[in-house]
Structure 1
Amino acid sequence: MSGLFRALHRTKVFRNLTEQEFAWVLYDVGNSAFIMLACSLIPIWFKSLAIGTGPGKISSDQATAYYSIAISIVTVVVALIGPVCGVLADRKDKKKIFFTTTAGLGITGCVLNGVATSWVLFLVIYIVTRVCYNASLTIYDSMLNDVTTEERMDEVSSYGYAWGYLGSCIPFLVALIAYVLGPDMVGVLPDFVSKMIGFGVTALWWLVVTLPLLKEYRQKNYVEMRTVTVGQTFGKIFRTLKKIAVSDRKVFFFLIGFFLYIDGVGTIIDNCINIGTDLNLNTVGQVVFLLATQVVAFGGSLFFAKLSRKKDTVSLILICIAGYFVICLYALTLRTLVHFAILAFGVGCFQGSIQSLSRSYYSKIIPAENSGEYFGIYDIFAKGASFLGSVVIAVVKLAGGTINVAVACLAVFFALGFVFLKIADHQPMTGEK
């Protein structure tokens, strides 16, 4: 690691991490900056390129539709290639190569998005960037088995989410300032320059904090396969899926429970602004509270990281699920911006923890040498987050219900997820009786 990162590693907050653990945590800080931009400013910049009356321009409704289609394409492609990338990366000395390639393409795409001059090119580059970003995350998650011990997985995974939430705020604030100075608000910067700064700073941040992991990572767990054909790859994936469904009941029931409760988590995150808008709350106030949620999520993740030293992982995940269950019911009382702030605070308390602890628990119950393949399967369930929940919200709204009732209905997902996780916890590990 460079002198700057070594000095940072020696500080009190990171001193208890090994060099490999610290380098692994830093990548969460980098990729989180991109996804924060994706959830906020990227849709705005896309519409600024696309909407208009001149040649090649489209309407606002068309822009929204095309952007939604792009996200759907990303979801499908990631679901298809995630397990494939995992199988290929599980081979000896291949994980770092695949990680470097996917992360490098993602970072390059982020830069190119900043200089794209047509909305079609912007959208194509963005699709490739998001796919590579997600592929790098599949491999990154599987690295947890290599960089730390089983006893420390909960803590290290929680550190990744915690510092990812906090660290991502730094480049995002620069991007936000560039946007504020752009034509939509102050008007000091041209739209092209504003966009270029936002993407450029994010890509640079992503690259710099990725370098320590590229230097420090060593693959310890792997499968002895020199060459593998496409047919062999898919054959291995189908055999693994069959094994999970038939004989690996612990992983099977966990994935069902995970899909249910993480769908609820994703739906609440995706619909936070919609909740406020439906209640006619102040938009600026909503954004401020959602940014504050990042800081709360940082604290919540660190708090659960400390708890993980004394409590078992499943108990902590169940606490998070119960917390979200209460949040869903609390949504019935939402009326004012203060109520919204309380909701955002509650989400922040459990948001990072439920994701980080799920990741570390899954790492413990899968074969370490096949972690890439198994995390590819895990990401199919994770990337589907908010699909069922969004359908529930749409049905309730179309039936004439309020957003309060729609969010409260999500409590069912957490209740079912709670039950399936309990069932998974009582199943033996593969090979045990």
Structure 2
Amino acid sequence: MAVGKLTKQEKSWIAYDVGNSAFVLLSTALIPVYFSSIATGSVVVAWGYAETIAALVIASTMPVLGSLADLRHMKKKFLVGTVGTGALACCALGLTTDAFPFLVIYVVASIMLNSSMVFYDALLVDATTDERYDEISSQGYAWGYIGSCIPFIACLVIVLGGGAIGIDSATGMKIAFVITALWWAAFTVPVFKNVHQTHFKARSEHVIKDAFKGLLVTLKRIWRTKSLRYFMLAYFFYIDGVHTIIKLSTSYGTDLGLDSTQLVLALLVTQFVAFPSAIAYGRLGARVGTKRMLLVGVFAYMCITLFGAFFLKSEVEFWILAIMVGLFQGGIQALSRSEFGKLVPKEHANEYFGFFDIFGKYAAVMGTLLVSVITQLTGEANFGVFSLVILFIVGFVLLRKVPEHS
């Protein structure tokens, strides 16, 4: 992997990670806490089902949209469309204080966010060169973590300290939704202006029909290619646990009765830890092998899950958990994205990344649903969290079967 000065295209591509990460952080830290103040019953259960519905919709639509986005000039059009809709939905979260309509609007915003990531991920092959995938993908996650802290800190000041200037917490959250939406939209501009789709497939007379045919061909190619087959199966399981921990960490801590302010501040620290960790992880991947570093990350998440299930009882332990997650979260996501980018044909990148997203999002369905159902049946959230260990074990075993990729 070449490590050197970033090009204008690479910087612009990275900028979108800074933009979308603001909503990711808000939805991980503050939105579940706010939702718990307007909802009744278990926050983990309600939030888990909402995330499950969003993941199902994304996984069902992204392969077809991804295939269409592989046509010339279409990647950025789909990216702008999903970001625009998502930003509007983010603003609309402040229009209601009823739990159900709030969840509906959140599901729309979440669908748009994650859909935009498919088109954004696929633009990696247009923004840089093969040998720089690990570096640029890691830089994206790293700057996303640190950059998202700027609007998030502003939101925290308004929500938690707004009382000093006459702004109650509910009004503060409405302002926070607008700040986040504007930040997200603003950082979409550089990638739209400076990253051009250089890899695309030819347009045919029967676009929709050929898109479905192309999906079947792509799925067959993935299954017949040993490296892709085992990588995708492994990714399906281990990224499930990663996504579930990200999505449900705050609501899990809330159900345990931990102080909401402490939970939010701990997750903010996660962002600062993740910044250097993601960059270091990407460079270690180049030196010792991407697959080896992915195995290290999956094993680390097994340990993190066990810690969360059996030892998380106080705010101090949540801080420890947040730091542990920060060390590995960005690295495992970045190297998964870059490794997949190396394995797929560039002119069909969006189509392949659509399946990449399917595996990730259907896994998220399995994880959030598993945690929600077990928590609801047992009345103990830690049993739901413990079940995620199985997914990491299966992912680890399958990942070991992936042939080495130089």
Q: Same fold (TM over 0.5)?
A: yes
Equivalence for 2:29: 40
- Encode CA deviations 1:235-267: one digit per residue, 9 max, x unaligned: 32123223322x122212111100111112223
- Encode CA deviations 1:278-309: one digit per residue, 9 max, x unaligned: 65544433332222112111121021123234
CA distance in 2, matches of 1:121, 1:274: 19
Equivalence for 2:225: 248
CA distance in 2, matches of 1:402, 1:61: 14
Matched, 1:414 2:392: yes
Secondary structure of the 2:296 match is: helix
Q: 2:6 aligns with which of 10, 17, 21?
A: 17
Query: Quick one: structure 1 residues 301 and 64, their matched pair in 2 at CA, closer, same or farther if it must change by over 3 Å?
Result: closer
| Structure number with higher relative contact order (C-alpha < 8 Å, ≥ 6 residues apart) | 2
What is the deviation of 1:120?
A: 6.9
Q: Which amino acid aligns with 1:16?
A: K
Query: Quick one: structure 1 residues 367 and 268, their matched pair in 2 at CA, closer, same or farther if it must change by over 3 Å?
Result: same
Q: Is the 8 A contact 1:300 1:353 kept in 2?
A: yes
Given the two structures, how large is their TM-score scaled by the length of structure 2? 0.87
Equivalence for 1:224: 202
Q: Is the 8 A contact 2:48 2:368 kept in 1?
A: no
What is the deviation of 1:393?
A: 4.4
What is the percent sequence identity of the aligned residues? 39
Equivalence for 1:207: 185
Matched, 1:77 2:81: no
Q: CA RMSD in A?
A: 3.2
| Greater radius of gyration (CA) | 1
CA distance in 1, matches of 2:159, 2:203: 49
CA distance in 1, matches of 2:255, 2:198: 51
CA distance in 2, matches of 1:45, 1:340: 19
What is the deviation of 1:209?
A: 1.8
- Encode CA deviations 1:182-237: one digit per residue, 9 max, x unaligned: 6xx76922567424421221122112222111111111111011444433322321
Q: Is the 8 A contact 1:265 1:385 kept in 2?
A: no
Matched, 1:291 2:268: yes
Q: Which amino acid aligns with 2:234?
A: G
From the two aligned structures, give the one with the greater helix fraction. 2
Secondary structure of the 2:245 match is: helix
Secondary structure of the 1:362 match is: helix
Matched, 1:152 2:138: no
CA distance in 1, matches of 2:65, 2:26: 25
Query: Quick one: structure 1 residues 196 and 330, their matched pair in 2 at CA, closer, same or farther if it must change by over 3 Å?
Result: closer
CA distance in 2, matches of 1:126, 1:390: 16
Matches within 5 A, 1:336-355: 336-355=314-333
What is the deviation of 1:128?
A: 3.3
Equivalence for 1:301: 278
- Encode CA deviations 1:151-196: one digit per residue, 9 max, x unaligned: 11011101111111111111112222222256xx769225674244
CA distance in 1, matches of 2:381, 2:99: 33
